[in-house]
Amino acid sequence: MPNAIIDAVANGDLAAVSTILTESPSAANQQDAQGNSAFMLALERGFKNVAQALLASADFDVNAGALTPLQLCIELGYIELAIELLNKGANPNIATRTSSSALLTALDNEYFELAEKMVAAGAEVNIRNAKGWTPLIWAAISGRRAIVEFLLNHGADIHLCNNDGWNAITGAYFKKHTDVVTTLREKGAVFGSKYANAALITAYADGNLRLVEHLLDLGASGDICDEQQQPLVAKALKAGDVELTLKLLDCGANPNAKLSNGVPLLVYAAQMGNKAMVEKLLLKGVATNHLTKGGRSAIWEATHDKRSALVRLLLEHGADANACFNRMPVLSQAVVNGDTESVRLLLDFGANPLENFQKSQKEWSNLDYSSLSANGERDNYKEIVKLLKSKERQHRE
């Protein structure tokens, strides 16, 4: 009898198969010498009517074999038979640890109506394989948005991770499936902490500032460097991404970081005349007297560009009123600029009025330069002369 049913199925002999099943219904579950079931053999040979006859047998085991009849029907595209198996009580969750679940196979082939019936029959949307992959993780990493949406609509858990720590949104992001990332974000998905910082760097490199801000809002650290060890906060500031730079500082970025050319953030912010950035850096505890490789400080930059409001701000936070660049004291630079307010501020914060400086191959005192300029009836220099004379007397005393 065993060989008879197998031979009949192999030959597509429906009449013989029906006769054998009438006499022995359990023959519907018979296997050949290689362990292939009669049902599998019928499907693989394309004998759908024979497979239907086997399935109709009272003793047919709907869950038999390592590859169940349901899985086999879905893989080979026998959708009607798959539905009939579900109606007869086939378990949609049976799968080996290394094979895909029946539900994932159906979704991979975009048999959405069948998948609906499988979920209704108890298919687990969060089923995991040996590597911890769920259908949602697989769909997200594969960029299969329609499948992602199906799974989300049927309660798939957006937070589950595979054995490597990847959740659905992490996988979708690193595979650059931005539409899937957007869909998952809208459902509240967050990056796994293990990969959040790496995602932050690549998001910025891709110009996705909204995602960068989203990651920071979710708790990613702002104190992070790229593969060249360039701080992200420095790259953002240099690129003119002011709002992001401020946010990175609020999220822990090092205020004493430097640009790739060695310029400290504070010095660069002073060069740009960005008072809000200078204020934020000072609030975060930046060192006010750090220098560029060439010896320029933030106070020198502010003075050089006649930014008296920045000069005041820096002095109030400990900037050196006697700082120099190329033997030019900041006070002397303010004098040369005719910047009365900066001169006043620097003197009030302890700048030495007696320091000399070089200009046009000649050495000048601050008072001499101001007095000469005042002779040209320039009122600002007249005021500077008064300030210098007053402070020189105090300094000598």
| Same-fold call for 262-320 versus 328-397 | yes
Top-level class of domain 262-320: mainly alpha
Q: In the predicted model, what is the mean pLDDT of the chain?
A: 91
Q: Which SS3 state, helix, strand or coil, does residue 235 take?
A: helix
Domain residue spans of the chain: 262-320, 328-397
Cβ neighbors of 360 (< 8 A, separation 6 or more) are none
Band of pLDDT at residue 376, cut at 50, 70 and 90: low
The pLDDT score that the predictor gives to residue 98 is 65
C-alpha distances out from residue 372 to 212, 217, 337, 366, 377, Å: 55, 58, 14, 10, 10
382, pLDDT greater than 80: yes
pLDDT above 70: residue 390: yes
The reported pTM is: 0.67
Output the six-digit token pair for 126.
């969060």
As a whole-number percent, the residues of the chain with pLDDT over 70 amount to 96
Residue 9 — very low, low, confident or very high, per pLDDT cuts 50/70/90? very high
Tell me the pLDDT tens digit for each residue of 135-146: 999 999 999 999
**Which has the minimum average pLDDT: 175-189, 212-226, 308-322, 325-339?**
212-226
pLDDT in tens, 322-341: 999 998 999 999 999 999 99
How are beta strands 328-329 and 356-359 bridged, if at all? unpaired
pLDDT at 360 over 90: no
More confident residue, 379 or 152: 152
User: CB pairs under 8 A, 24+ apart, for 370-376?
Assistant: 370/335, 373/338
Q: Is the pLDDT of residue 97 over 80?
A: no
Q: What is the dihedral of CA 96, 98, 102, 106, to 10 degrees?
A: -170
Q: What is the pLDDT of residue 377?
A: 55
Domain 328-397 has CATH 3.50.50: no
pLDDT-derived band of residue 48, with 50, 70 and 90 as boundaries? very high
Contact indicator for 1, 24 with CB cutoff of 8 Å? yes
Section 7-11 average pLDDT: 95
Per-residue pLDDT band at 214 (split at 50, 70, 90): confident
